[in-house]
Structure 1
Amino acid sequence: MNISEQSHASVASTLKEAIGRYTATDDSSVVTDIHLQPKQDSGELVIFNDDDEELARTIIDEWVDYEGDDFYKEVEPLLRAEVTVLKDEGELDKLCLMKPYSFVLVDDEKETISELLLVDDDDTLLLDDELLKGLDEELDAFLKDLLEK
């Protein structure tokens, strides 16, 4: 799905507005994730926290006209890229959110579709499918070896 530069700018400014509520002003930390909920029927992007408190909202014109069944698969890379830009620009370093926290893509029922970005300290190992590939077989072989001895 291709969206205009104006829509990209709208998504970026809405994300900045949402995280702006968590700009560190003192030593207190907030425990929450940031949820991004795109709505195909209205074209809205609603951003809220774990308490369902709305942080920001915008309308993306291209989403209103989208008729495909793969809406979330289409918007996921776009939203992931916009959140990654915030991280690369250092915008997430100024937040008073307790790590780890995530930017999460959710559907209309607020069910998680995917994690767009996990923000954590550098010393945390993030598990992904590539790292865990073949783990079951290795553990089975290890256990079998132990039981035979």
Structure 2
Amino acid sequence: MDKNTKDRVLVEDLFDDFYTQLDASDIFSISDIYVRLDLPQGDLSISDEDETCTVHKTIYHWCVEKPENIDEVEKTAINTIRATLLVMQNKGYFDRPAFQLPISVLYQAPGDAAPTELLQIGDEWMGLDLPLMEGLDKELDAFLTNLMKEQ
């Protein structure tokens, strides 16, 4: 099993632990799930919006010894988490009773005020915050402007 596959298994196991703790806590209406990384320690945590339910796991090769490597490791970790979330979504993980649609999985970086959306699942759609979407508003606005000029 390669390193990325092992990481995805660890992340999925942590989400399973999170759901088990939700179930044991009788929490039945989660719509926001927060993911946090403590990269110097390699600690990944998942919690509900009120932090009533929180689980942690250490992914040792996400530990960062040199501060200049934090951005690179963070990017790798976030990509792994996103890939895992897509697999879990396809397996029906978020169809479980404790989750209330729409569901957002958000990454809260240390020191950042606003979380980054990793995955959103609604009643009729699923979206990802992907780099491919950057600049779409500008292109769409230009297209609509040209369309209006033609009429």
Instruction: Name the TM-score, length of structure 2 as normaliser.
Output: 0.72
Q: What secondary structure sits across from 1:95 in the alignment?
A: coil
The CA deviation at 1:111 is 3.9
The CA deviation at 1:29 is 5.0
Q: What secondary structure sits across from 2:82 in the alignment?
A: helix
Instruction: Name the TM-score, length of structure 1 as normaliser.
Output: 0.73
What's the counterpart of residue 136 of structure 1? Answer: 141
Distance 1:133 1:21, change over 3 A: farther
What's the counterpart of residue 100 of structure 1? Answer: 102
The CA deviation at 1:127 is 9.0
Q: What secondary structure sits across from 1:53 in the alignment?
A: coil
Q: What secondary structure sits across from 1:37 in the alignment?
A: strand
**Counterpart check, 1:13 vs 2:13:** yes
From the two aligned structures, give the one with the greater strand fraction: 2
What is the root-mean-square deviation in Å for CA atoms of aligned residues? Answer: 3.2
Q: Is the 8 A contact 1:19 1:95 kept in 2?
A: no
Partners of 2:115 and 2:105 lie apart in 1 by 11
From the two aligned structures, give the one with the greater helix fraction: 2
Count of residues in Structure 1 that have an aligned counterpart in Structure 2: 141
Distance 1:142 1:41, change over 3 A: same
The CA deviation at 1:125 is 7.8
Partners of 1:66 and 1:80 lie apart in 2 by 24
Unaligned runs of 5+ in 2: none
Partners of 2:19 and 2:89 lie apart in 1 by 11
The CA deviation at 1:21 is 4.0
